[in-house]
Structure 1
Amino acid sequence: MRMFIVAAALAAGALVAGPASAYDGTKCKAPGNCWEPKPGFPEKIAGSKYDPKHDPKELNKQSESIKQMEERNRQRVENFKKTGKFEYDITKISSK
């Protein structure tokens, strides 16, 4: 039992002491504006490795896929109006 108490006391002491360089959030630019970057994180994002650089092709992928989906749906509806039968597979529609 004594071993457990000693171990618990040592663990509690380690938690209280903690590292001296830990972030404490006390550097405020204005009242209520206490954000500061973590160590190693740049003050400004623009131009750093954290700056998101978006490729226009990547940004347009979703709109292109939506256009393709709408075209497939148009073909399905057109085929349904002609035949009265709904066909999901576009390759079967174009081969008829």
Structure 2
Amino acid sequence: MRKANFGLALASALFVGSVAPALAYDGTNCKAPGNCWEPKPGFPEKIEGSKYDPKHDPKELAKQQASIQAMEERNKKRVAYFKKTGKWIYEVDKIPQE
């Protein structure tokens, strides 16, 4: 009888442990299914113009665009050489200039 009580207590503890996270739901209000973001207390509803606005620097954004364009140019050179010769050379500096 003592083993049965222990087993029942263990099963109850496991059940309560698995249900506890579901009970911790704080009642977030969803505007639409899957759109349940709410700002924390003290955090503005709209970020633009607030102290949390990152105010991206146009120079930094231009660096990223230049980097992407340089990558695309390298890829074009690699692909053109591959189509011409059938050999893939990753390092653009090692592609023979003809």
* Band the TM-score falls in, shorter-chain normalisation: 0.3 to 0.5
**TM-score, length-scaled by structure 2:** 0.42
Q: Which has the larger radius of gyration?
A: 1
